[in-house]
A and B are shown apart, each in its own frame.
Chain A
Amino acid sequence: MIEFLKNLDRRWIFLLMLLSVAIPILLQTQFEETPSKLSIAVFDQLEKLEEGDKILLAFDFDPGSEGELGPMATTFVRHCCEKKLKMYFMALWPVGEQMIVDNIARVIKADFPELVYGTDYMNLGFKAGNEGVIKVVLTDMRQLYTTDAEGTAIDEIPMMQGVDNIKAMDLMINISAGYPGTKEWVQYAVTRYPDKITLVAGCTGVQAPLLYPYIPQQLPGLLAAIKGAAEYEKLVMDKYGKRDADGNMDEEGKYFEGRRRMGPQLVAHVLMVLLIVVGNLIFFAERRREKRQ
């Protein structure tokens, strides 16, 4: 048995991983989420805002991390729409602009068609330069952004009147998949102007532990990986989800993506734990055998 497991072809492990993710997806299993303090902090930061307040949404991710960050992006946009905030989208990642366009179509155009481009939301699009872009938008956005992503002159956009830089924003959200992302926004924007810029973020699992030293002084709220997305989704939908006459949730679909993804997450995590345990059992059994010999 030990010999068999020791020499197990790794493709069997791949197959186990595939099944542990595929089966819960096919069965569409879902679990109840209990929001953590950090997710509640993110939710509260948005809740504090008033109708018409300005919010910057920086989408610094691409399809490579959409599995984790897509649900956050969708829920953030929904939350902003429900709060009737003025949304300014921008991206430091070349593909980030496509993520913005996708979410505008998915949430704003589909469910909030009354919102008007240029008055309620606008897309500044992508600019090259990583932290160099952050430095410019801190002082004078117009040096880089002469038009929005659609090619309209920036001064012709009503909601850009009186906005010279991102210090005019009441809150900033960053959805981050790596460099440049939340770390750079904290370093270059928040740390420089702690009284004027408040940032909350959603990030990938890889980045999350690295950002904890900034919490809460430099980063009051953080959605960490898909679990953070699921928790935030619950908070937003519990408050804003459409309900039937009996008070039951009458919505499904795109605003449940994070929670749906927690099903495969659970099974795959248990598999990971089992793999480590079995791997160690083999190791110790072997070691004992060697000692005996």
Chain B
Amino acid sequence: MKRQIPLLIAMIAGFVMIVAYFIPYTVSWGDTVIVWFDVLAAIAFVLGGGNLLKVHLKKTSDQVPGWGYSVITIVAFVIMLVIGLGKIGVNPAAKYPEFAWSGKFSEMGSPFWWLYEYVFKPLQATIFSMLAFYVASAAFRAFRAKNIEAILLLATAFIILLGRTAAGPALTGWFPDAIEGLEADKLTSYLMTVFNTAGNRAIMIGIALGTASVSLKILLGVERSYLGSGEE
């Protein structure tokens, strides 16, 4: 029973979405299901926060090596959460001044906004920017023109890297009209619209067929791994 009902839920929810795509009368059913889905997606954010707290509280209580950092995570989490949920330092909405809670939680100048602007934003942007360094290191160490496949990959990367900056026109802009098509920027465009499009289109078709078959298997109850293996 603990496995049959979830299978039935997945099946009904999925087939409602499919039917709603084809039969106009059932569009509102699909909309209802999808709005519930959106609400659950927001609750999943709460779950994410709860899970983080659970993991780090456990690390702290077990005093595993590096548990001090878990304490920092918990403190940062709790501060941001309390400030955000409590709308601390937020003015009411100008339209509804008599409602103290009507203001926007991320109002400019509020503590929540300050933490976003000066802590969240620089940290997230810098963590992502680190990849520029690693991609350079990987290029130096790992990209070897060992065979024709690797040469094709490297040659394309070169053309794109140069063709999408001022280096392309500077290096190849003098080409005579007869071989104008080989100028770096034109070659880049050709590579992207022909070779890249062809390759990605084939990958896309493959993924589409794979996604459709996996979805159908789940909806028909053939694929059940998402229910876990436990008997409980």
Contact = CB atoms under 8 A, between A and B. Distances in A.
Interface string B204-225: 1000000000000000000000
Nearest to B136: A17
Nearest to A66: B125
B125 A280 contact: no
A37 B193 CA distance: 11
Contacts of A14: 133, 136-137
A143 interface: yes
A68 to B, nearest CB: 10
Given A17-B133, A266-B167, A279 B161 contact: no
B148 interface: no
Contact of A64 (B34, B127, B161, B166): B127
A268 interface: yes
Main secondary structure of the interface of A (DSSP, over half): helix
Interface stretch (B38-46, B49-57, B62-70, B75-83): B38-46
Given A21-B132, A144-B38, A152 B95 contact: yes
B27 A139 contact: yes
Nearest to B208: A187
B165 A269 contact: yes
B121 A128 contact: no
Nearest to B133: A14
B120 A37 contact: no
Contacts of A151: 93, 95-96, 102, 104
Interface stretch (B4-12, B174-182, B194-202): B194-202
A105 B200 CA distance: 38
A66 B128 CA distance: 10
A22 to B, nearest CB: 12
B132 A135 contact: no
Given A34-B185, A279-B144, 14 more contacts: A32-B166, A37-B189, A63-B120, A63-B121, A64-B125, A64-B127, A64-B128, A101-B108, A127-B38, A129-B37, A135-B34, A139-B27, A210-B204, A265-B165
Interface of B: 27, 30-31, 34-35, 37-39, 41-42, 44-45, 93, 95-96, 102, 104, 106, 108, 116, 120-122, 124-125, 127-129, 132-133, 135-137, 139-145, 154, 157-158, 161-162, 164-167, 169, 185, 189, 192-193, 196-197, 200-201, 204
15 contacts: A13-B140, A36-B189, A63-B121, A64-B125, A127-B38, A129-B39, A130-B41, A139-B27, A139-B31, A213-B200, A225-B164, A227-B165, A266-B166, A276-B139, A276-B154
